[in-house]
């Protein structure tokens, strides 16, 4: 008795050395649509996967939500890094203005030793603060998604 094939196909990528011609246009491709039970497969171009007349992606809502959350997390980390860079610029600017105010050689010599130690301590503290904020954000959500951004499951039309 022959079982019917379900209309669910999973996208797999093969090595470029194993690429074969597309089932429709005969261009070399490394994309393969395969059934969940792995009984049937065919090679298909990424361009044909985008064609809504050929197939439609089956989107997993949980995966889409996780991806959106990861993007928000990345944006938040970038904001923290920008904030840190801005603090360093302000600190550097204020240090430069303080150096210009000092006029005598004796004051400069005495202050150089103290100011270098203070600068190093402030930079280390600021770096630690930035790393702690980033770590706190990443610890909130430690789910890692490792796909290329496209849908992985399709339904043929």
Give pLDDT tens digits for 10-34. 999 999 999 999 999 999 999 999 9
**Structural contact between residues 153 and 11, judged by C-beta atoms closer than 8 angstroms:** yes
End-to-end CA distance of the chain: 25
The pLDDT, as a whole number, for residue 135 is: 77
Higher pLDDT among residues 59 and 110, named by residue:
59
What order of strands is seen across the sheet that includes strand 31-34? 41-43, 31-34, 9-13, 153-156, 55-57
Q: Tell whether the model's pLDDT for residue 58 goes beyond 80.
A: yes
How far apart CA 57 and CA 122 sit, in angstroms, is: 52
Q: Tell whether the model's pLDDT for residue 71 goes beyond 60.
A: yes
Residue 47 DSSP label: H
Mean pLDDT in residue range 90-100: 77
Tokens matching residue 43: 């090679």
Mean pLDDT in residue range 71-98: 85
The pLDDT, as a whole number, for residue 28 is: 94
Give pLDDT tens digits for 128-154. 888 887 777 777 655 444 445 566 788
Beta bridge partners of 20: 29
Phi-psi region of 9 (alpha: psi -120 to 50; beta: other; left: phi over 0): beta
Mean pLDDT in residue range 24-48: 92
The DSSP element (H or E) to which 127 belongs, if any, is helix 105-140
Higher pLDDT among residues 69 and 110, named by residue:
69
The pLDDT, as a whole number, for residue 61 is: 79
DSSP-derived 3-state class of residue 58: coil
């Amino acid at each position: 008795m022959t079982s019917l094939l379900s209309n669910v196909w999973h996208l797999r990528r093969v090595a470029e050395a194993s690429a074969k011609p597309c089932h429709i246009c005969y261009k070399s491709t490394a994309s393969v649509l395969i059934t969940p039970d792995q009984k049937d497969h065919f090679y298909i171009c990424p361009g044909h996967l985008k064609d809504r007349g050929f197939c439609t992606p089956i989107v997993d809502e949980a995966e889409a939500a996780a991806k959106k959350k990861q993007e928000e997390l990345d944006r938040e980390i970038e904001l923290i890094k920008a904030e840190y860079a801005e603090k360093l610029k302000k600190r550097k600017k204020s240090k430069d203005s303080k150096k210009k105010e000092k006029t005598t050689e004796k004051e400069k010599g005495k202050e150089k030793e103290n100011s270098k130690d203070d600068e190093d301590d402030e930079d280390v503290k600021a770096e630690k603060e930035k790393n702690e904020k980033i770590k706190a954000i990443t610890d909130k959500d430690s789910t890692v998604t490792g796909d290329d951004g496209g849908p992985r499951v399709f339904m043929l039309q």
